[in-house]
Structure 1
Amino acid sequence: MASAQRGLEREWTIQAVDAEAVVHLAGVVGCPVAIASLLIGRGITGEIEARRFFYPSIDDLHDPTLMLGMGAAVARVQQAVRAGEAILIYGDYDVDGTTATVLLKTAIERIAPKDTPAKVTYHVPHRLREGYGMQTGVLGQAAAAGIRVVISVDTGIRAFAAAAEAKALGLDLIVTDHHLPDDVVGVPEALAVVNPAQEGCPYPFKSLCGAAVAFKLAHAILAAAAATDAERDVLRKKLIPSFLKMVALATIADSVPLEGENRVIAALGLRELRNPVQAGLRALMEVAKIPPDRAPTATEVGFRLGPRINAAGRMDIGSDVVELFLTRDSARAMELAQKLDRLNDERRATEARALEAIEAQLETMRGQDGVFLPECIILDDADWHRGVLGILASRVVDRTGRPALVMMHEDGQAHGSGRSIAGFHLLDALTCVHGVDGNGASAGENGVLFTRFGGHAYAVGFSLPSDRVDALRERMRSYGTSLLTGPVLMPPLECDAEVRLCDLTQEFFDWLTRCGPFGNGNPEPVFVTKDVTLGAEVRIIKERHICLEIGGDGVAGRFSALGWSRGTEWVESCRTLDLRPGSCVDIAYRLKAKTNPQFPGLELELVDLRQTRGGVGVD
């Protein structure tokens, strides 16, 4: 019953798994049956594979030299360091780009002789003045300043004009990026292009974030400089684990799939973030109120650390983040961390004001049955802050269950960000509507829409003249009508296992924790329990959230089940179901540890609920 669309009930499904295989895996590994079912449902079927999943190690990382272009990139960096040539790292203003800048600068400086420090500078673009991507003007200034080598991080894979400019200026350009190359043109002309997504790259894992690609170059540089067994031992046991802290921050914050090598990076990096030595990390975790005596969770990285790091680029200048993570001065680190905290508060206030206007616009897009009419939500306002457009688009997706493009206007240009849902490739959509014939006069020469655009399946950025926004709306409506159908807009709720409340012990939760970190590609498991009984009146929290006290199947005590209104009409659902003490319902939920240390234990985070169906299994 709970749904982003009023009045619609969502189907629940559990992936079918072989019962004998589940019992066998649970027996050889020693985990609960529901955990074994979860693993098999995610393609992990053997004992060795399962143990590697539960206990990832540094040996699970792939060899960086497998990446196309890596050899040429490492050789040129080594040559530059030996010759004392100046190197510029061209970064980006988000978590991915800033941490990548820190990683690569640190690695290059480390291989330089002590008596001849490496000449490494960096440029982090200003989001509003420069926008995303490499700018030819910056390259010209770099060449005039004596720079000989430019290394891009988290950008550059479509920087054809910048690459041509670098060549004309006599600069050796090394592109490290993770974004998708142009399907037609390919990759820019550069001394080396390091991107696992490029055609012909044999690297076995294709979904790294930008900082992880930069880390691979850093790893290869450090490995090439390690001449003895002792140096290689230090690299493996100390340097690489230390670097993984930054890579984990970016991997989680950039929402790349937490599967395969990404999950290894995130798990190892989070482990290393416990009680970090680096002044900037310690200060940032302190202002984010993350205790230093334990490793942060992926949720804390995504919702506490990531937003503060991103706030610098969104509201001010991203280079503050690079300084924060490079400084060894504790006082300066705290000063910068507190600045990021203030900027994040400013970002939240800016976002809240925009969301009020967005909510009003969304209500005009509902039909009489409460269902949103447009398949793709497109919103714009001249007053919205350009730095929060991506966040706003994410909020609209959460609220509506539909892909969203959100724009602001400035000097006749509309600048926008988009976020999408499973089953609708947003970059493909923009690529298609960009060059559609028709509406030529309103859509620019040859009918093209955008002055720039890029991204991937779930997130895009773009700009276009403001007078082409109506053409964008029409083309997206036409493009999305056949693709954004019921199964995409209201997909079944994929549940991982059906369990009893009495199965939800601390031991079960400990095994569940080993299945993390959770995120895109390794979603937090959703469990189903049927025929639970309400032990008290529904408690409504702040008019939008609910708390149910539930029991059943002989469980000792009761669980609290909390429903947070992230796109779900929980209060309306409870009224529709006429819930009262003694009512029986089926619930889908995530299992959580209580956050208040004075009241330890477990609680449930509701995902959906419905009238009890009885019987065995799920639809």
Structure 2
Amino acid sequence: MRWIVRPPDLAAASRLSAEAKVSPLIAHLLAQRGITSAEQAQLFLSPSLSHLHSPYLMLGMNKAVERLRAAIAGKETVLIYGDYDVDGTLAVVILKTAIEICGGTADFHVPHRIKDGYGMKSDVIEQAAATDVRLIISVDTGIRAFAAAETAHRVGVDLIVTDHHLPEVGEIPQAVAVLNPNQPGCGYPCKELCGAGVAFKLAQALLEGAGHERLLPSFIKMVAIATIADAVPLTGENRVLAKLGLEGLRKPVNVGLKALFEVASVGRNGSAPSASDVAFRIAPRLNAAGRMDVANDVIALFTIREMTQAQEISAKLNQLNAERQNEEARIVKEIQERLDGDAAQREPYCLVLDGDNWHRGVIGIVATRVVERYGRPTLVLAHDAESGEAYGSGRSIPGFHLLQALEQPDCRKLFTRFGGHAHAVGFSLPGESIPELRARMEEYTHRHLTLADLEPTLEVDLEIKLEQISLDLCRELQQLEPFGQGNREPLLAVRNVLLQQPPKLLKEKHLKLRVAAGNGRNQGYDALGWRMAERTQSEGLIAGERLDLAFTLEENQHPDFGGPQMILRDFT
């Protein structure tokens, strides 16, 4: 892996430090993030509710609010059509709750990942119409649901689409209103809202219009979870939502949140959960419902009032997550054995991997693991033996727009359906078309990528001395939280440190190093490397070696052995 040490702009950092009254270190890191004025620094470090954009800046909002208010006034039952991931289910919770607070009635439909697949289906709309539903609002889905939109029009159902996925070029489904900051002609400032974020903007307009704006912070807690879980950039309005929401989650009121936090071991010391807590503890358990069973459990968890029921659902989600982890590990192992055992299968610029008996609910996570290990855009497909269809999920590398690759004419003709973003896609196609998909993707990636693009790189923000690591440094860096896409955790590096002890393996897959500066007689520091056990075994690290470490820094809050802790990203 190649390290790129970002050169400091000393003049810009010095000026920002003086104007914004922040430390030179924070000024340096802010400048690297393109923040050059005191006003920008204030917005970044101390976002507030006043920094939320008006929902009416979003194209279609006036029509959407007008139709929804009419439904509430007319005592219509509104059907919310969601998706089965965290983003989609929390979007349902947000909009359903807002409608009910404003005096309306809302039901919902969330498809089953395996039985129904992704997206809006005409038969669901027809069934809704048969029960006298006259308004359907999609959340986190619908921007490419042209057939479903035509069905809604045919059966006399009004449709409001709220979505954040990229639309077809030049095409928008027929609807009363389409809310999507990425649609042509929409000037909404934050293009990177997640699906729950778009649904929240509709809820915000509805609540503010009804005099319930004081309730917005409660909704923002849910938006924060969805925003982090969906891995959208934590910049602009997304940063406002994530930071305020995480702080609000310090004291959860919702019984579902309380039960989930307990089973996930989050927030036990009264501290606000971090973005990492949400991404690696909360979101996987919520996603497990839609991946392994039915996503309706997530909506039930956050809408019931009895703690006993909430605890039962949380325990079920915890068990489903354990099953998801086992299934993910099984498939990843099979893929690694396949690729590591045959160098020719690792050579393609885009890895297109298919298998039998792979659970469709985990192939997206598997694709992420493959990208992390092999550094190539990856499509992972699971065969359905009954239908002959293959269902796929893809993840990309920085700088390669995966959805655009699927949209090329030679590829798109192969798909039954597809959609997504630059970095993540979902699709299905006849299993017999996989060889052609593999060939088309290889041709496309060879035209748009070079071998240098496939070489993994690390951007190091700052080189420091080992003895500079302290709790004060940890807490200074925490000012930049929440970390995630678009605001990655500062990556630090130390050079020529001594490995004091032989490496330790944790749970047979993680690595722990004890290092010190100089001759090794100085204070030792722990460095943890998640999923790095295999690497240290292959490289044969021994005590007394000199190492360069690239790492992030976090605070271990254990009462007995807490303190600053390095989380390894690489070592040489």
- What corresponds to 1:158 in structure 2? 144
- What corresponds to 1:266 in structure 2? 242
| Contact 2:78–2:135 under 8 Å retained in 1 | yes
Pairwise CA distance, 1:70: 0.3
For 1:139-288, list aligned pairs within 5 A: 139-184=125-170, 186-226=171-211, 235=213, 238-288=214-264
CA distance in 1, matches of 2:437, 2:532: 28
Pick one of 563, 573, 577 that aligns with 2:529: 563
Pairwise CA distance, 1:126: 0.9
Pick one of 303, 308, 316 that aligns with 2:285: 308
| Contact 1:433–1:449 under 8 Å retained in 2 | no
Pick one of 500, 504, 519 that aligns with 1:535: 500
For 1:387-402, list aligned pairs within 5 A: 387-402=361-376
- List per-residue Cα deviations over 1:570-613 (Å, max 9, x = no partner): 343454xxx532x4332211112225331011121222223xxx
Pick one of 289, 293, 313 that aligns with 1:336: 313
Pairwise CA distance, 1:59: 1.4
| Contact 1:31–1:511 under 8 Å retained in 2 | no
Pairwise CA distance, 1:567: 9.9
- List per-residue Cα deviations over 1:483-507 (Å, max 9, x = no partner): 2322321143211112222322222
Q: Report the secondary structure of 1:387's partner residue.
A: coil
Opposite residue 188 of structure 1, the aligned amino acid is P
Pairwise CA distance, 1:196: 0.4
Opposite residue 79 of structure 1, the aligned amino acid is A
- List per-residue Cα deviations over 1:413-441 (Å, max 9, x = no partner): 111111111121111111116458xxxxx
For 1:292-441, list aligned pairs within 5 A: 292=268, 293-366=270-343, 372-410=346-384, 411-432=387-408, 434-435=410-411
| Contact 2:411–2:441 under 8 Å retained in 1 | no
CA distance in 2, matches of 1:291, 1:386: 32
The gaps in structure 1 that reach 5 residues or longer are 1-9, 113-117, 437-447, 611-619
| Contact 2:19–2:37 under 8 Å retained in 1 | no
Tell me how many residue pairs correspond in the alignment: 568
- What corresponds to 2:15 in structure 1? 24
Matched, 1:68 2:73: no
Q: Report the secondary structure of 1:223's partner residue.
A: helix
For 1:467-478, list aligned pairs within 5 A: 467-478=432-443
| Contact 1:408–1:414 under 8 Å retained in 2 | yes
- What corresponds to 2:450 in structure 1? 485
CA distance in 2, matches of 1:310, 1:365: 33
Opposite residue 90 of structure 1, the aligned amino acid is Y
Q: Which segment is superposed worse, 471-480 or 151-160? A: 471-480
For 1:461-610, list aligned pairs within 5 A: 461-541=426-506, 545-552=510-517, 557-565=523-531, 569-573=535-539, 575=541, 579-581=542-544, 583-594=545-556, 596-610=558-572
Pairwise CA distance, 1:264: 1.2
CA distance in 2, matches of 1:542, 1:366: 29
Given the two structures, how large is their TM-score scaled by the length of structure 2? 0.95
| Contact 2:217–2:248 under 8 Å retained in 1 | yes
CA distance in 1, matches of 2:536, 2:12: 37
Pairwise CA distance, 1:12: 1.9
Opposite residue 311 of structure 1, the aligned amino acid is A
| Contact 1:427–1:457 under 8 Å retained in 2 | yes
| Contact 1:16–1:41 under 8 Å retained in 2 | no
Matched, 1:94 2:57: no
- List per-residue Cα deviations over 1:535-573 (Å, max 9, x = no partner): 333444456543332222799622112223359823434
CA distance in 1, matches of 2:21, 2:470: 15
Opposite residue 580 of structure 1, the aligned amino acid is A
CA distance in 2, matches of 1:288, 1:165: 42
| Contact 1:563–1:570 under 8 Å retained in 2 | no
Opposite residue 47 of structure 1, the aligned amino acid is A
CA RMSD of aligned residues (A): 2.0
| Contact 1:96–1:211 under 8 Å retained in 2 | yes
Opposite residue 34 of structure 1, the aligned amino acid is L
| Contact 2:554–2:565 under 8 Å retained in 1 | yes
CA distance in 2, matches of 1:218, 1:568: 48
| Contact 1:270–1:295 under 8 Å retained in 2 | yes
CA distance in 2, matches of 1:609, 1:62: 43
CA distance in 1, matches of 2:265, 2:456: 37
Q: Report the secondary structure of 2:352's partner residue.
A: strand
Pairwise CA distance, 1:21: 2.3
Q: Report the secondary structure of 1:481's partner residue.
A: helix
- List per-residue Cα deviations over 1:345-385 (Å, max 9, x = no partner): 12122222222212211213426xxx931211111112011
CA distance in 2, matches of 1:340, 1:477: 38
- What corresponds to 2:68 in structure 1? 77
Q: Identify which of structures 1 and 2 has the higher relative contact order when contacts are C-alpha pairs closer than 8 Å and 6+ apart.
A: 1
Pairwise CA distance, 1:455: 0.7
Q: Which segment is superposed worse, 545-554 or 239-248? A: 545-554
Pick one of 44, 47, 52 that aligns with 1:56: 47
| Contact 2:381–2:392 under 8 Å retained in 1 | yes
Opposite residue 17 of structure 1, the aligned amino acid is P
Change (3 A) 1:135 1:562: same
Change (3 A) 1:535 1:221: same
CA distance in 2, matches of 1:175, 1:136: 15
| Contact 2:498–2:518 under 8 Å retained in 1 | no
CA distance in 2, matches of 1:73, 1:348: 40
- List per-residue Cα deviations over 1:120-147 (Å, max 9, x = no partner): 1111111111111110000000000010
Opposite residue 151 of structure 1, the aligned amino acid is I
Q: Report the secondary structure of 2:448's partner residue.
A: coil
